[in-house]
Every structure is written in C-alpha cells, then in structure tokens.
Amino acid sequence: MHGGPSSAPRAQTGAYGDSHHADEAECEVPASDSLDRRSSERIDVTWLVDCETDDTFLYASIANISEMGIFVRTTQPLSIGTRLTLRFAPPGADGSYVLEGTVQWVNEVRPLHDNPNPGMGIRFVDLTPDDRERIVGTIRTIAYLREAPVRSN
C-alpha cells in the first residue's frame, strides 16, 4: 500500500475536532512555506470582504479564515506582495474588522481547466493583541457552533 501524505494517520487539527475544514484548506495552499500556513486552524466561511489598496478596490468574499489570515475567493487576485486593507463583518460578531494584510499566494483563474477556488491567500500583518484575540474568539465560536447539536424549539 502506498504511504503518501493522504494515507498517513492524522491528528485532528481543530480545537473542536474539525479536521475536515483544515484538509480542504490544505488543498488550496501551494507546497512552499506550507507548514507555516497550516499552523493555525482554518474555518470555512462565506463572508463579504472589501479589499483596498492605494489604487484598487475589490469587493469579494472570504472562503476561509484562521488567526493568521484569510483566503479571498476572487477571479481578480492582486499580485503577491500587495499590501491591502481588509474590511469585513462576520455575521453575529460585535462590530466589524478593519485589518491590514499582504497577499502571500495566488490561485489564478485558468480557463479551460478545473480550478474551483481562484483567489488569493492573505496574511494579516501588524495585528494588535486585541485584534488577534477577537479573531481567535470568532473562529472558536464558529467551530463550537458548527459542532454543537442542532435543537429545534
């Protein structure tokens, strides 16, 4: 039997046993520098985000988030190294986020090829301790709510 990475046993990645989402995110990440990118739990979301540079305004959606950054699904990704301001408001959160980030990698649109996840990976930069704490709290809340049994009233 082949002993490749996908057949090796894995510990659960998430604090609440949510390894499914981390596996999906790993498929979107290029191999270079992958250990650093996978060091934080990623949660799949669909949130609107405004991405702004000095000369560009991009209205897109966040496909997943971790305490280190986000994956923005877009057919118009910005260049690697581009610094931008991110504005988003998770549903049910106290207020919105206004954070700085840098494009770390791009998953280009490839016409005539199967590429279901075009977009860009953005790493948060210059996070304050309060911002990081809010992000971690938001991620843990989402993970907890997704794992909780559904009750009808």
DSSP state of 33: T
Helix (H) or strand (E) holding 51: strand 43-52
Whether residue 86 contacts residue 99, with contact meaning beta carbons closer than 8 Å, is answered with: yes
Residue 39 pLDDT: 59
Amino acid 13: pLDDT: 34
pLDDT of residue 91: 86
- d(Cα 17, Cα 144) in Å, to the nearest integer? 10
* 43 strand-pairing partners: 65
- Segments making up each domain of the chain, as ranges: 19-147
Q: Which residues of the chain have pLDDT under 50?
A: 1-37
Give the per-residue pLDDT at 93: 78
The predicted structure's pLDDT at residue 83: 98
Structure confidence at residue 152 (pLDDT): 63
The SS3 call for residue 147 is helix
Domain 19-147 superfamily per CATH: predicted glycosyltransferase like domains (2.40.10.220)
